Structure 1
Amino acid sequence: MSLCRRCHKLGAVLLLFSGFAHGALSAQQELLLQNAAQAFSQGNYRPAAAALPQLANTYMGPWVAYWSLQPRLQTLQNAQFRQFANEFPQGAAYLLLRRQWLIELGKRQDWQHFTEVYHAGPAPENITIRCYAARNPLLRMGDPGSLWQTAPATDGACNRMAKNALSQGQIATPLLWQKLAQMVRTQQLHTAASFATYLPGPASSAVAALLQNPHAWLAAHAETTGAEFGSVAGAELLHLALLCELPNAPALAVAQAETLPDLTAAQRASVCYSAAQQAAQKFQTQNAVAWYQAAVNADASYRPEVDVLQWMVRSALLQQDWPLVLAAVQRLPREQAEKSQWQFWRALALQKSGEPAAARAIWSRIASPFDAFGQLATVALGRPLGLPTANPGATTFTAPGGTRSAPESQENSSLRRAFKLYQLGLYFDALWEWGRYLDTLPNTDAIRAATEKAAQNQAWLLAINASTRIPNDADWRQGYVLPYRNDILASAAQNALAPSLVAGVIRQESGFAPGISSSAGAQGIMQVMPGTAAWVQRHYPQTATADLQSASGNIQIGTAYLAYLRSQLGNSPLLLAAAYNAGPGAVQRWLAKIPIGDSQWTGLIFAANIPYRQTRDYVLAVLSNTIVYRMLLAEPTQSPLSYWQLAR
């Protein structure tokens, strides 16, 4: 069937209904919906398109129409999108498809239809769409320079916008030099080479040459750049060449940055900071600290990118250089510096520097039973850790067998759609619908009521998601649900593991969503890779008949894998969490490379220096979850700090 005929067919279906009803689905409609959802999850739009005449006027109509269009986005016609938008305006499905369609129209450079769709709804915050809007000759929305300055170096849409703006003289050369340096720092050398052509004069060919062989280029030009290219361009070329040289010869690059006369103070600092970050990520802490100090000495007012300063803190912690910890946190942007982890380290540095009162004031401010660093701040203050009394006015819910649930609230179609999507296993779509619904709620009481409704519908991931919007996790019984309790207790006992650790892993891995799968192929409630599951089932007889796709079987296999990790790494929850996310081989490499000190904070400092951001964040979440579940399950009392030790 031609695209045009599909377009007319969809239009006929949608025009048949002036709105959609809110009643329950019939058995036949339920079957059609399930088939359409399953096919969509596999990239097949046809069952949804076939079911649309029977489902368009139901509360799930917007999503069925979405499933009939999204898999064929690359061949979609704007008329098809417009018909969809006319029938289902402003809903979550519309907002999601509109965002995806704008990106597709931008890729096509279909500026007329991009403009039409852009003006038909709220201005998107997505940086890719904003860059397309700035490039669009019919819109010219936003300043190309400002957008490019904030965009990641890898964003193709923003880079294409920048090239268009550079060719029209809309971006100044100083910003181009700044972005070239960012690209070189992040090893986007091919992208940097593609932008070199926009530099004026001989600097363009010079960048191409130094990107290919920075050492040779410096040997030939280091002393003559000012005369060859002018003082400004010469200094920028030296800066780029030294950044290129860093991965292979960091000490030489730093030495040249400190001695070459044409560089500005900021450029000297930039090279030293970049060398220090590179050394920090390789656990060469003495070099890292020395080069951080050299950067500060070169230009005390220069502020590098946030991740550079964060690694500055981590290296200073390994060296127990407390003044440098304070200096690095002080240099962080305010919104970053105020986060609990950096405030915790600032307080520790103050305590070690002889300012215990200032340290205690900070720890008192961030102490919390729910945040990892809040838990540790409580320990640092010498206070017992406990859960607060639940808000007596809030609705509460735990897994079956728990407390009384809230009365039924009036049905809401957006709420029903979110729960149905969750039921169908389309968790991304469910979270999208859920998030748009939560955005409409007026206060935390309304969010608590929605969270309660999610728990009643056993949409555990949605309940956890909503609880994060309640200040200070005010009702922990909503945020720390515990379904599959009996399975968790049984598998933990069988493998001699703490049930709280198993629950903490599950909450972070899947939010207790059964049947969930990741883009990498991890399966189920404990997100086990099929290959790992097969290995576990061969080596742990109690899991031989466990079904990876069922919640109970997945818990059996995932818990047995945790037991295997313990046999390799010991009983440290910190190391088990890190290995569950990154693999035991990675953790063993880090243990061999990261310098280990001897203090009660050693494990925490080790965790802060894990080179993978995802694993660092994962460990924080799993251990803070575990500590809360320990209290909920009334396990034997332990100091939260014991979970952060490298050996137990």
Structure 2
Amino acid sequence: MKFTQILTLVGALAMTGLWGPHAHAQVQSPNKADDVILEMQQAFKKGDKNRLSTLLPQTRGHVLEPLAAYWEMRTRLDSAPESEIRGFLSSYAGSYYEDRLRNDWLLQLGKRRDWATFTAEYPRYRMRDDREVRCYALATEAMNSKANVAEEAKRLWYALREADDGCTYVAEHLHSGKQINGLDLWRKARLAMDANRPRPAKAAVDIEAPRLSEQVALIHADPEQYLDKRIIAITRSRKELAVLALIRLAANQPDKAAELLEKRWSIQLSAEERNWTWGVIGKQAAWKLQDNAASYFAKVQKDSDLNDELLGWKVRAALRMGQWRQVLSATQAMSPESQKDPAWVYWRARALTATAQDNAQKLEAQSLLRSIASVRGFYEQLALEELGQSITLPERPLALTPQEKAAALINPGLQRAMYAIQMGLRPEGNREWNYSTNLHTPGGMNDRELLAAADLACQRQVWDRCINTSDRTKDAIDFDQRFPMPLREIVVRRAGDIKLDPAYVYGLIRQESRFVMDARSHVGASGLMQVMPATAKWTAKKIGMTQFTPDQITDREVNVAIGTGYLKLVLDDFEGSMPLATAAYNAGPSRSRNWRNGPVLEAAIWAENIPFQETRDYVKKVLSNTTNYAAILTRQPQSLKARLGSIGPRNSPVAEVNKDLP
């Protein structure tokens, strides 16, 4: 399309209200077609097929007609004739909703074992992000070409926390064809039991030892009693059931599991079974921040018998005890994919530096650090500082051209996504936006196109799409997009009034809500700073907000005032430690207090040992965000390490703890 044609289309869009400074208000203004779409959303949630069919004709010509048509067809997909399904796919060819319905149809075809139709349709499926669909596809590949798909099938199956038909089916098929063996199946059962998921554990055992699978429920309910009753494990299956029981016992009593393994079961298990079980015991002890976790991992005689998750916990336990050689050996044993993770690259480099016996190892450490060093994230920033560099603003990319902006504007998927978001259908809009910007779809976006899409979202103040889209550029980094500062006057003023670093406030908001003003979590936290109702009420009293009522928490100024007030109280309670305060903001002050007890650690090691993955990631991201926001606000070089400091028990034994801090 020529630029003059783009400008003509932009003008037409402006006339319809989809573009221009008042687009947000116009899209949100009530109109009959929008009301019909919203009514269809409710009917879809209820599975009301008749209501959806009645309302659909009223959406003809609406920008969200493909969404409305998808809702109507989706509720009838199990009974609709194939010709009608293909008619939908043809009518909305190239759109997200064509691919969304094909995804749903492929799942049904797989469940029906209609492999001929599945095989014909799968090559047209563009998203390729549904694990169960991929498992069905692997089964057809194995059937049709006898291809060896075992490694990918295991990876997908192992990653699922609950049993599904597709991945269980391909596991059964590959087992019958001897492409996966008994150990592969038992490892799935071990992973499921470790994750407290007895159903998928039973499903895995059903394939290998169907007569014994009922015992999985007994093991899950009372592993210690199971172990007491079965003293001798003479068959492979009996040994593996004992491993499942030890894994289950370790979840609550790692020391008890270690005692039983050492005194009773070790001699009966194979070397691989012992190594895995010691790895799980070590992981559970590390999760509880026990000092003996590293000693349990030391009993693992072959690191390659452990998976990446267990090796990750071995690294954490070794870091906590300053055992750099164990850090090195565990990171070296990880899969090639995990070895590329910036966290393990960084700690491997640190371990090499700490244990280097020659110049070659020091040079290897420097090379590893250089491979990840950037402003992109927590470990990337730490790598920069290990190399003696500060964290500074990256050079801004060349300004977007009018042509690049206009191309984003006329993208049909982005148009629909933005319209959906701005009329209150945020989940639906987010999904289509992500699809439209995804590199794996036809016409997937390069860096410049992603920057243009992010710019479109920024201009509409849809900050979460702005940030997430800009975050995906590989070479061009636009900090103004990645780290926007909405409500700057309010945030900076409120932070200044209570002597709180505004960069810290922005770093936290970016992680909490992505600046979505009406964000609400599944546990009831609200607004920019995701404040819980009880916390808001408590904080309002503490900061002298006498007229506060719960409905005010969604007001921007009130939410910022209460959020910053609470953050300041938490920060003061933790003696100014940003890592501790950040963990407390996410997981609660009592947990953060407990996690600080133990050896004095550099905060990066302490953060890596936080038991909850959500909080562990949250702390890293908030502090990384904070460092970048500080670079923007001050225009001066910054240090993440300076913000981290070290962490250990409270400095002063007489320092008061704010016991009622929620």
In structure 2, what is the equivalent of residue 433 of structure 1?
432
Distance across 1 between alignment mates of 2:579 and 2:204: 44
In structure 1, what is the equivalent of residue 164 of structure 2?
156
Report the AA paired with residue 155 of structure 1: A
CA shift digits 1:271-311 (9 cap, x unpaired) = 111111111111113x221121210x2x35x3312111111
In structure 2, what is the equivalent of residue 547 of structure 1?
552
1:530-545 paired onto structure 2 within 5 Å: 530-542=533-545, 544=548
Q: Aligned pair 1:274/2:275, yes or no? A: no
1:46-195 paired onto structure 2 within 5 Å: 52-68=56-72, 72=75, 77=80, 84-100=88-104, 102-103=106-107, 109=112, 115=118, 118=121, 121-122=124-125, 124-131=128-135, 147=153, 150-151=156-157, 152-158=160-166, 161=169, 165=173, 172-193=181-202
In structure 1, what is the equivalent of residue 396 of structure 2?
390
In structure 2, what is the equivalent of residue 526 of structure 1?
529
Distance across 2 between alignment mates of 1:41 and 1:508: 29
CA shift digits 1:89-124 (9 cap, x unpaired) = 3311332344345546767x5959984995594174
Give the TM-score taking structure 1 as reference length.
0.80
Cα offset, 1:190, TM superposition? 4.8
In structure 2, what is the equivalent of residue 494 of structure 1?
497
Q: Is the 8 A contact 2:282 2:314 kept in 1?
A: yes
CA shift digits 1:207-251 (9 cap, x unpaired) = 67666655555556544x43xx4xx44544444444344344222
1:350 counterpart (352, 376, 381): 352
Q: What percent identity do the matched residue pairs reach?
A: 27
In structure 1, what is the equivalent of residue 329 of structure 2?
327
Gaps of 5+ in 1: 1-20, 397-403
Distance across 1 between alignment mates of 2:166 and 2:416: 34
In structure 1, what is the equivalent of residue 487 of structure 2?
484
Distance across 2 between alignment mates of 1:482 and 1:206: 56
Determine helix, strand or coil for the equivalent of 2:554.
coil
Report the AA paired with residue 504 of structure 1: G
2:342 counterpart (340, 344, 347): 340
Give the TM-score taking structure 2 as reference length.
0.78
Q: Aligned pair 1:24/2:16, yes or no? A: yes
Report the AA paired with residue 251 of structure 1: A
In structure 2, what is the equivalent of residue 9 of structure 1?
none
1:457-468 paired onto structure 2 within 5 Å: 457-468=460-471
Q: 1:77 to 1:364 in 2, by over 3 A?
A: same
2:307 counterpart (295, 305, 308): 305
Q: Is the 8 A contact 1:103 1:129 kept in 2?
A: yes
Distance across 1 between alignment mates of 2:557 and 2:229: 67
Distance across 2 between alignment mates of 1:206 and 1:435: 44
Q: Is the 8 A contact 2:385 2:391 kept in 1?
A: yes
Q: Is the 8 A contact 2:138 2:170 kept in 1?
A: no
Cα offset, 1:455, TM superposition? 2.1
Cα offset, 1:330, TM superposition? 0.8
Cα offset, 1:335, TM superposition? 1.9
Q: Is the 8 A contact 2:494 2:561 kept in 1?
A: yes
Q: Aligned pair 1:568/2:573, yes or no? A: yes
Distance across 2 between alignment mates of 1:63 and 1:556: 39
Determine helix, strand or coil for the equivalent of 2:94.
coil
Q: 1:309 to 1:252 in 2, by over 3 A?
A: same
Cα offset, 1:622, TM superposition? 1.0
1:30-49 paired onto structure 2 within 5 Å: 31-36=31-36, 38-39=38-39, 43=45
Distance across 1 between alignment mates of 2:341 and 2:174: 37
Report the AA paired with residue 345 of structure 1: W
Q: 1:34 to 1:268 in 2, by over 3 A?
A: same
Report the AA paired with residue 24 of structure 1: T
Distance across 2 between alignment mates of 1:34 and 1:524: 25
In structure 2, what is the equivalent of residue 252 of structure 1?
259
Determine helix, strand or coil for the equivalent of 2:552.
coil
In structure 1, what is the equivalent of residue 587 of structure 2?
582
Q: Is the 8 A contact 1:329 1:346 kept in 2?
A: yes
Q: 1:37 to 1:59 in 2, by over 3 A?
A: closer
Distance across 1 between alignment mates of 2:612 and 2:410: 44
CA shift digits 1:525-576 (9 cap, x unpaired) = 3233344334434443348268333444433332233233234333222122
> Aligned-pair RMSD on alpha carbons?
4.1
Task: Name the count of aligned residue pairs.
Answer: 603
Cα offset, 1:643, TM superposition? 1.8
